[in-house]
Amino acid sequence: MAGVQPLGRARGSTWTWRPVARDVLLARAFHSCTELEGRFYLVGGLLEGGARVPSNDTVIFDPAVGQAVRLVARGSPLRSHHDAALVGGRWLCVVGGWDGSRRLSTVAALDTERGVWEAWAANPGNCPPAGLSSHTCTRLSDGELRVSGREGGTHTQRRYGSIYTLKLDHRTRTYCYKEEGCHTTSRSGHCAALLPTAGPHPGHQLLLFGGCNSVGPEVAGQWSPGKIKEEQPVAPHLREQLARLVSSGQGLQQGPQSLRHHSCSVVGPFAVLFGGETLTRARDTICNDLYIYDTRKSPPLWFHFPSTDRGLKRVGHRTCLWNDQLYLVGGFGEDGRTASPQVCILEFFI
């Protein structure tokens, strides 16, 4: 691991991303980053701006020691603009994405115990999307995902976005898509957050943020109390810090407009969005803003915390929650071409 150069704190700022590790293996964008047993699995992505062919790297980063290693695994897929989810506490399933020539809806799975990639097969009743990229996959339970986002290429995409339930069976190494009856606005490069609803008997709702010109989140699923068994990581200290941060800000009804390729992590009742690319400006499009969506009251409120530190600008990055810290991994910087080799943690000054 090379020396970590501090980004510094912008004057008057209440937060920053503090570098904790640096390794060229981590320099990528539009990858996936998934935590398993205290290690981050980075799959694929683009190694530089303008690249047409994605990486087939699988890199494992250990945040406890700040070290990254490349996993040498047979069958590692070429992928970018995909999403990934864990199944059975062992299989890292990569869903859809760009392979350098087309958009896919297939599933490739890394058996993390054996260190081998597998191409899972579709069930006979499978009704797949036309091809997915810059979509989202949200775990509803072990082996069940909710998939949302624009299908197909720019010439074949629909004016609306379909929602799919994706069942994954690690025992048979199979998957099956089922299209849901509801639709959303056509989105690409958005994020999704499974959040508790306000009230004495909270249920859950899946909200989509960004990826189109809309300023508000869109509901892609609702569940009554007790239906969602998926447990979010416990982060009491980070949750307390976010509560203190929003108490110092002014809540708004509307969130960021026309943001895409940003990151989103759920911390208790908060959705934490960072960076991305805005569609509202012709120049200087890559952002370094922090947004907090607070669902503790109805209606939920947005809190915006901008930064003047241009070194924090990111697009195509990922955030990952582990050990009561939120980590920032990869992404292109201000020029939209140079991938960051740094890993940072979100730090507050409140």
Write out the two tokens for 229: 């068994």
Which residue carries 């989105």 as its tokens? 187
d(CA 315, CA 279): 13
Collect all residues with Cβ–Cβ distance below 8 Å to 216 and sequence separation of at least 6: 254, 255
Backbone torsion region of residue 125, taken as left when φ is above 0, otherwise alpha when ψ lies between -120 and 50, otherwise beta? alpha
How far, in Å, are 136, 166, 308, 346 from residue 180 at the CA level? 15, 10, 42, 36
Q: What is the pLDDT of residue 305?
A: 96
Which residue from 264, 332, 320, 272 is spatially nearest to 33, judged by alpha carbons?
320
Report in angstroms the alpha-carbon separations of 151 from 4, 36, 133, 188.
40, 29, 7, 9
Average pLDDT rounded to a whole number, residues 172-196 = 93
How many angstroms separate the CA atoms of 199 and 218, rounded? 20
Lowest mean pLDDT among 170-179, 214-223, 235-244, 272-281: 214-223
Pairing of strands 263-267, 259-260: unpaired
Q: pLDDT confidence of 202, banded at 50, 70, 90?
A: confident
pTM above the 0.75 mark? yes
Q: pLDDT digit string (tens) for 32-85?
A: 999 999 999 999 999 999 999 999 999 999 999 999 999 999 899 999 999 999
User: Do 122 and 104 contact (CB within 8 A), yes or no?
Assistant: no
Chain mean pLDDT for the chain: 92
230 pLDDT band, cuts 50/70/90, is confident
Q: Are 157 and 150 in contact (CB under 8 A)?
A: yes
Binned at pLDDT 50, 70 and 90, residue 30 comes out as very high
**Residue 79 and residue 30: Cα distance in Å, rounded?**
9
Distance CA(81)–CA(40), nearest Å, equals: 18
Per-residue pLDDT tens digits for 114-138: 999 999 999 999 999 989 999 999 9
- Using alpha carbons, select from 157, 127, 136 the residue that is nearest to residue 209: 136
H-helix or E-strand spanning residue 242: helix 236-247
Quote the CA–CA distance of 91 and 114 in Å, as a whole number.
10
Any idea which architecture 14-224+233-349 has in CATH?
Answer: 6 Propeller (2.120)
Residues forming beta bridges with residue 93, ordered by sequence position? 85, 109
Decide which of 349 and 213 is more confident.
349
Q: Band of the pLDDT at 12, cuts 50, 70, 90?
A: low
- Secondary structure (H, E, C), 9-25: CCCCCCEEEEEEEECHH
DSSP code for 151? B
Question: Is the model's pLDDT at 156 over the cut of 80?
Answer: no
Instruction: Give me the count of residues in the chain.
Output: 350
Per-residue model confidence (pLDDT) at position 3: 52
Residue recorded with tokens 């982060």: 235
Chain center to CA of 9 = 25
Q: Is the pLDDT of residue 289 over 80?
A: yes
State the pLDDT at residue 320.
97
Tokens representing 346 are 């979100």
Q: Supply the pLDDT for residue 113.
A: 96
**Average pLDDT, stretch 192-202?**
87
Q: Average pLDDT of 91-103?
A: 97
- pLDDT for position 291: 97
- Confidence bin at 325 (pLDDT 50/70/90): very high
pLDDT confidence tier of residue 10, bands split at 50, 70 and 90: very low
Compute φ and ψ for 310, nearest 5 degrees: -70, -20
**Pick from 344, 143, 318, 327: nearest CA to 235:** 327
Res 219 pLDDT > 80: yes
Judge whether residue 15 has pLDDT over 60.
yes
What are the boundaries of each domain within the chain? 14-224+233-349
Using the structure block, give the residue that is written with the tokens 């020396």. 3
User: Over pLDDT 90: what percentage of the chain?
Assistant: 80
Work out the number of other CB atoms within 10 angstroms of the CB of residue 283: 4
Q: What is the amino acid identity at position 341?
A: P
Query: What was the pLDDT predicted at 151?
Result: 72
DSSP string, 50-65: T-SS----EEEEETTT
* Distance from C-alpha of 58 to C-alpha of 41, rounded to nearest angstrom: 7
Residue 7 clears pLDDT 70, i.e. is over it: no
pLDDT, residue 51, reads: 95
Q: Which two tokens stand for residue 141?
A: 């339970």
The answer to whether 326 and 318 are in contact (CB under 8 A) is: no
